[in-house]
Every structure is written in structure tokens, then in C-alpha cells.
Structure 1
């Protein structure tokens, strides 16, 4: 939903009615993760995707129905193994999709979240799923404030507390809230690993979407390889910075895909820059006076990935220089140099693909071997354990569509 929010808000501001469909739970293999969204304008225009195509038509039709009725729906789609043309997730898993009309209150919440995210402030959007005894509102939550309400003041207290605990996480989760005798709600139970709310339960369930700032990709060196890496880094969703001390080569025109282009000595810039465990550093300079100081700084930080371009001869000399500069053997072992996978890359663009492939493999903890040679699950190890990767099923009284077709929910 985060990527679609600007356009959705444009539609709403223009007075158009629109519906928002969001994946709130995934069980097993599915083409999209939780949080994937599809927006449908009253004129029939659609943006985004919830399934990569296999149930897109059914969700689109459901969104049009919700626009007419104004009633939110939560629908489950499973593998349609008894009818090749039935609505189903062809990957073999199950997804739950929440579809709701975007009213003025929801638009205000999304606008507040969008502004916070644009300012690189962590924000959480919480929406009450249909079928509960509590309200059906939404709220945007940031560290020192919030906007909106769940529609239940007692539930608000628990949801605001849980949302602030999720501010440093990027992902989606569903939590279920039970009230005590005084109708005070305790912290929600994360339903990522169970079969969902008990049959007939009216306990409120809340969808949390954490919009953490995009992870950073710091590219040091202003050359053709850096331009290709910045381009693919932006495609992967990173906030890209290109930095080099040589002003004539370090211009926005040469790096149109970068969010920032900085003229500074790489090690000095990195020393003054805030990083975290998601930050990626790529050194493309081939020059010891640039790359040894910046790699020394980078390898002293708990970063997600530190890589350097260069031949094996350059890498051998570089490692000697880094050891002489005081970098420990354990820190040197974290250096991906030469960066990238063995794809036979030669051009800057191919090298960028090689780097991106290694980055995804490192991030997912996978082997980077061809899937055709493996028998294990295709999804990354631990994908089901990520926040929201597998959530509670739609509550009783909603629309289960597991392995069978219905007249109202048939793919086109």
C-alpha cells in the first residue's frame, strides 16, 4: 500500500470513490507478500497487484462490489486443485485479502503516513479488520504522535502501544485483541503462526503495516559501474547515495537514479553518516587512497553488506592494506570482494546484476544455486517467520474461497 498511497490520495482528493485491497495473510507459497495492495478507481482503473495475476480478476470484481455496497470484506483464496479454472492461488498457498472503500477518515490516515514516510520517519498504519465487535477505523502512528482511531477508545490504547513497538520493523502483521472484564485490551497476540481467530470469535483483529524508511545503499566511486549499481539499487527499493571526492564526475546528471549525489571523501562522509543493520556499502573506486579508509570505516560497523569492485590482484593487495590498517580477520571475512556472483559479468550493467543477485542471496540466507537443481522451498528461509508473512485467516462470517470456485468470485 505504501507505494500506491500517493496515487490513491490523488484520486480521493479529486472526489473519486476508490477501493483498496490488501494482502493481510499468506500461508505457504504465494506470489506476493503480506502488505501487497491493489487500488481500484470507480472508473475501473486499477493499480498494484495482490497475486501476480492468479486471483487478480476476482479481487478486482470484489473491489467493485465493495465500492457499490460500502461494506468491507475479507476473503481467503487457496489452491484450486479441483477445477483448473477456479479462482485460486496457483503457487499452492493461501492468501487472505482485505477489501475496503477508502473513506475520508482512511484518506486522512494515509496522507499522514505518507508525509511521515516522505520525511524518512518510521510510521505504522493500523486498520481494524471486519467482523469484530469493536470499531472499524484506522490510525497512523509515529513516535511522538498519531492520527485517527480504531473506533474504540479502549482498543486505541492497546493498538497505539503495539504500533510504537513495531516502528523499527518493516513489514505487516495481524494481531488479535481480547478484552478483560473492564473492557481493557491487552497487547495483541501475533497471529502469524496459528490458524486464526476461533470460529465465531468477535475479538477485534488489527492489521499493522510498518513503513520503515527504505534501507540505504551507499555507493562510493563515480564511474559507470556505480551508475549501474545505483540504478539496480533503486529498483530493489534502496535509498541510494553516490559519493566521490572528484566533483567533475560526481553530478546528479551522471547518476539520475540516485536519491543523493555527494561530493566528499568517502571515508569522511561515511564517518558522519548514520547507518544501521540494513545498510549496504559498495566501494567502486579501485584506488587505495579512497577505498582503504572507507572500507576500514565500513567494516567497523554492523552493516548488512560491504562489497568492493576489483580484480583478484587488487583484492589481495587491498586485504593486506586493510589488515595493516588494523581491520581484524573477522571483519575482513565480512568483505564481499570481488563483489557479486559468478555470472560471467563483464559490462557495468551485468556487474550490477551480479551484485544484486549476491545481495538478495545474502539478505535471504540462500545458496544462490539454480532453483532447478534444488528440491527445497522456493521462498527464502524464514520467510514464514517474518512479521506478517503468514497471518490469521479471515474470521468466521467472511468469505472463505479455498480450493473451489463461486459464482461471485470467478477469475476472468
Structure 2
């Protein structure tokens, strides 16, 4: 653990790294800083968070590091008490960091108890949806985790307020996007930070279907890339979170080891293209390699929903549709035949 003046990690610090830090520091006490109100900057950057220990370790970023001088000491002090601080960024510093213009923010620092720090850290590291909720004066901390925010950790000091906060956050998660919002509930005002990870799709193999899949992902605002070398695919899958997706196009048995490692690790969506015959042969190889029936139940093969797809573009639609359904815990059936909420 570092000592002396705390320094935040750089703007490239990922939520994965922030989540790992929260878990490491939970037992020692963690303070967090969030954006309570912003003025200027030209764009809204939601879900920003800086965490710190009283001893000086810090992680996360607020407005691309331009507010570190205020945010990091506030987070360190917030281990013991809630407080707010005004911070401002000059035009030159803002433009240098890639922001649209100068601006300022009201920062809220407050303690994050160990249970909530661990729960939030695990969710951010795994790449699953999570929400951090407090009153606007930093009293209490409620953490919700899981695709539907079904995990509830901590509280705001009142069962009535907790129930209202959970309902508000679950309403926001249906938008499918990371947000920071102030929400009025039951006569109180809450600050809600919600993180909804964007799927990152790795296409293993080349061809028209892969090209169409990358194009479809771009349309959805998802990250996507293509790799054809076994070593590159293995390295990527080894670092998967629950928000990551593998679509294996290559039928070569040498890629079986990627499926074996991915399924055993149990993170992300693992799918493989191929005919029924190809799937059957692959299944026998994977069983012979030591995978169990439970392991294979997590493999989406042949990948995609049964839409009657014929063209590469239609096949790409069927694949991303299954990813959406899996992330939402839905079966991918017609809305008219279900009682599920429409639009999430």
C-alpha cells in the first residue's frame, strides 16, 4: 500500500482494475468520490468514481483525471466522513485531457463500508451491472449487483427508502446504459451511479459472417474485433469478464482449447458456429478432453437464435439477438407469447 500524498490512477484505469482495488482495500476502509453536480465540460460522462484508502492508495478517475487534485484527497478523507467539494478545470487543462471545454463539479465523498465495497468491486471486476446509491449528503450506501440488480447490499438507514431506491435503480437499468442521476424518492433525493457494461465481442476466425457480425456490433455500439491466431484468441479469453463475448467461427480442433479454458473459467458468453455435424464432433472432443455436461451446457453452439437466417447479415442478427437475450436472462421467444416486460 502506498503512502504519502495519494495519487489517482490514470484515465486509462478500467472498471476492472477499480473493482479489484475495492476488494483489496475493503477491510482497511474505503472512501469514494462521485459527481454530485457538473457545470460545463460540454459532455456528460456517467458512472465516474474515485476510491481511496486513508493511507493514500487510490484508483479510478473523474473527468479524465482533471479533477484528481480535489477528488483524491476528498476520497481519502471520506473513509471517515462524508463531505462535498467544489472543483474546477481550466479551458487549457480540459482540452488537453480531451474534454470539450472547461467546467466544474460538485464532488461528493463518502465512506463505502466493507460489505458494499466488496460487492461493488466484485461486480465491476466481473463486468456485470452494478449500482451505487446514497443520499445526496452521503448518508448510507446501497449497492445493487447483477443483470437485473437482484443482489442487494447495505442500506440507506430506512427500509422504506431502500425499497424506493431499489425500484428507481431497477427502472434505470432497463435503459441498458451507464448513468449518473439524481432521483427524488419518498421525499428524499438520491444520487444513483449505475454501471451497465457494454458487450465486447471477439470474433475468432475470418469470413463474411465475421465481417457482418463486426458491422452489427458497431451498429449496436458494442466493441468488436476479429482475431485469427490461436494465441491471440487464448490471451483474450483468459481475461474475459461477464460482459465479454466469444464467437468462434473457426472449426479447427486446435481452437478446442480456447473453448475448454473459457468454459472452465466461467466468464462471458461463449458461442461457436457450425453445422449440427460440426457441433456433435466438437462436443465429443470436448467431453474426451475432460469437460462435463454442466460445462457444455454453458456453450452456445450452434450460436444464434432460430430466426431462419440465411445470409451472413441475418446470421449476425441471430447471434447478437442471443447475446442480448442471454444478458437479460430471457429465452428469446416472441413477445406476443410471453408475459415479460416489453423493452427490458
TM-score in terms of structure 2 length:
0.56
Deviation at 1:156, TM superposition (A): 2.0
2:194 maps to: 210
Residue in structure 2 matching 1:41, options 53, 56, 63: 53
In the aligned structure 2, how far is the partner of 1:237 from the partner of 1:249?
21
Is the radius of gyration larger for structure 1 or structure 2? 1
In the aligned structure 2, how far is the partner of 1:164 from the partner of 1:127?
15
C-alpha distance after superposition, 1:173-230 (max 9, x if no partner): 223426xxxxxx1xxxxxxxxxxxxxxxxx6321222233541415141798445799
Residue in structure 2 matching 1:239, options 240, 244, 257: 244
Deviation at 1:107, TM superposition (A): 2.5
Deviation at 1:32, TM superposition (A): 8.0
1:112 maps to: 119
1:158 maps to: 164
Alignment of 1:313-332 (within 5 A): none
1:99 maps to: 109
Residue in structure 2 matching 1:297, options 290, 315, 322: 315
C-alpha distance after superposition, 1:119-174 (max 9, x if no partner): 7764433222217xxxx112233544523221133322321211221233331222
Kindly indicate whether the alpha-carbon contact (under 8 Å) linking 2:20 and 2:125 is maintained by their aligned counterparts in 1: no
Deviation at 1:249, TM superposition (A): 4.2
In the aligned structure 2, how far is the partner of 1:293 from the partner of 1:77?
54
2:286 maps to: none
Q: Residues 26 and 252 of structure 1: is their aligned pair in 2 closer, same or farther, counting only changes over 3 Å?
A: farther
C-alpha distance after superposition, 1:30-63 (max 9, x if no partner): 6982322222222222222213333212222333
Question: Given the alignment of the two structures, is residue 75 of structure 1 paired with residue 85 of structure 2, yes or no?
Answer: yes
1:265 maps to: 274
Kindly indicate whether the alpha-carbon contact (under 8 Å) linking 2:128 and 2:242 is maintained by their aligned counterparts in 1: no
Alignment of 1:44-193 (within 5 A): 44-67=56-79, 70-80=80-90, 91-102=101-112, 106-115=113-122, 122-130=129-137, 136-141=139-144, 143=148, 144=150, 146-168=152-174, 169-177=176-184, 185=186
CA RMSD of aligned residues (A): 4.7
Q: Residues 177 and 57 of structure 1: is their aligned pair in 2 closer, same or farther, counting only changes over 3 Å?
A: same
In the aligned structure 1, how far is the partner of 2:37 from the partner of 2:305?
33
Residue in structure 2 matching 1:5, options 6, 19, 41: 19
Alignment of 1:333-372 (within 5 A): none
Deviation at 1:92, TM superposition (A): 1.0
Q: Residues 235 and 75 of structure 1: is their aligned pair in 2 closer, same or farther, counting only changes over 3 Å?
A: farther
Q: How many residues align?
A: 251
In the aligned structure 1, how far is the partner of 2:101 from the partner of 2:236?
27
Deviation at 1:115, TM superposition (A): 4.7
C-alpha distance after superposition, 1:250-269 (max 9, x if no partner): 5439x99x967665528985
TM-score in terms of structure 1 length:
0.48
Structure 2: gaps spanning 5 or more residues: 1-13, 208-225, 280-299, 322-344
In the aligned structure 1, how far is the partner of 2:254 from the partner of 2:227?
17
Higher relative contact order (CA 8 A, sep 6+): 1
Kindly indicate whether the alpha-carbon contact (under 8 Å) linking 2:132 and 2:143 is maintained by their aligned counterparts in 1: yes
